[in-house]
């Protein structure tokens, strides 16, 4: 009788152990996704954007969070949730790494063509890029233009056939806002003449 009890006790232990092992196994292909809302160190402030289009918002979100292994193909924007200052980015159902959604905020840069700028620079002592930009800013004092945000893209030598001409002695120049500007975007044509 003692032998039977010892065997029975050993059998019960074996069953309990085998049940525990089976309970610990996961499905072979099961992937645990991370909820976007639960990640505390995402940068949700995207800063100034040129527009509020899906690709622009997602690209900036990825650029602001480079160590998160986010790919554009795995993200989408919720329709009707995008305004001129906020958007909801969501993980696609097919995305293996993340699930859920997050709200991001941003501003839209104003196009300098909408500022009603004075583009006739008048008579310049020289036509260096520095002089063109500083004169352009001085002609538009209340527009918060910053010299480091502007660059001269082209002059009368390479601006194009329709602009590559003198207009009553004036030279046409193209001034562009750099991508790094936090306030403005766009390109404007300005004109000037150089003292002889």
Domain boundaries, the chain: 34-108, 111-194
Q: Which of 156, 159, 152 is nearest to 133 (CA)?
A: 152
Tell me what pLDDT residue 194 has: 86
Alpha carbons 50 and 109: distance in angstroms, whole number: 5
Lowest mean pLDDT segment, chosen from 24-38, 152-166, 169-183: 152-166
Long-range contacts of 126-133, Cβ-Cβ distance < 8 Å, separation of 24 or more: 126/194, 127/155, 127/171, 127/173, 127/192, 127/194, 132/173, 132/175, 132/190, 132/192, 133/175
What 8-state DSSP symbol labels residue 168? T
CA distances from 71 to 44, 55, 94, 145, 194 (A): 16, 12, 12, 35, 51
Tell me what pLDDT residue 7 has: 46
Q: pLDDT tens for residues 73-127?
A: 999 998 777 888 999 999 999 998 899 999 999 999 999 999 999 999 999 998 8
Rg value, the chain, Cα: 31
Q: Which of 186, 163, 179, 178 is nearest to 129 (CA)?
A: 178
Tell me phi and psi for residue 43, to 5 degrees. -90, 110
What mean pLDDT is predicted for residues 167-172?
A: 71
Tell me what pLDDT residue 165 has: 44
Tell me what pLDDT residue 159 has: 46
Alpha carbons 62 and 42: distance in angstroms, whole number: 10
Tell me what pLDDT residue 27 has: 58
Tell me what pLDDT residue 29 has: 66
Q: pLDDT tens for residues 22-62?
A: 444 555 666 788 899 888 888 999 999 999 999 999 999 99
Alpha carbons 89 and 64: distance in angstroms, whole number: 14
Contact 167, 119 (CB under 8 A): no
Could you tell me the two tokens for 21? 């092992």
pLDDT surpassing 90 at residue 130: yes
Q: How confident is the model at residue 196 (pLDDT cuts 50, 70, 90)?
A: confident
CA distances from 174 to 73, 161, 196 (A): 36, 13, 22
Alpha carbons 54 and 74: distance in angstroms, whole number: 13
User: pLDDT averaged over the chain?
Assistant: 82
Verdict on whether the full-model pTM lies above 0.75: no
């Amino acid at each position: 009788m003692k032998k039977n009890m010892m065997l029975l006790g050993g059998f019960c232990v074996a069953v309990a152990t085998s049940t525990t092992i089976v309970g610990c196994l996961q499905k072979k292909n099961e992937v645990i996704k991370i909820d976007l809302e639960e990640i505390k160190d995402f940068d949700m402030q995207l800063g100034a954007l040129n527009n509020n289009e899906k690709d622009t918002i997602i690209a900036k979100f990825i650029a602001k969070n480079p160590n998160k292994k986010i790919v554009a193909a795995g993200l989408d924007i919720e329709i009707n949730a995008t305004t001129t200052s906020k958007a909801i980015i969501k993980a696609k159902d097919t995305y293996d790494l993340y699930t859920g959604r997050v709200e991001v905020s941003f501003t839209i840069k104003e196009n300098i063509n909408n500022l009603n700028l004075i583009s006739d620079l008048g008579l310049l002592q020289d036509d260096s890029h520095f002089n063109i930009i500083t004169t352009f800013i001085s002609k538009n004092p209340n527009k918060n233009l910053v010299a480091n945000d502007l660059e001269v893209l082209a002059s009368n030598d390479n601006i194009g056939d329709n602009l590559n001409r003198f207009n009553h002695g004036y030279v046409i120049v193209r001034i562009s806002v750099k991508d790094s500007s936090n306030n403005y975007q766009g390109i404007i044509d300005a004109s000037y003449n150089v003292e002889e």
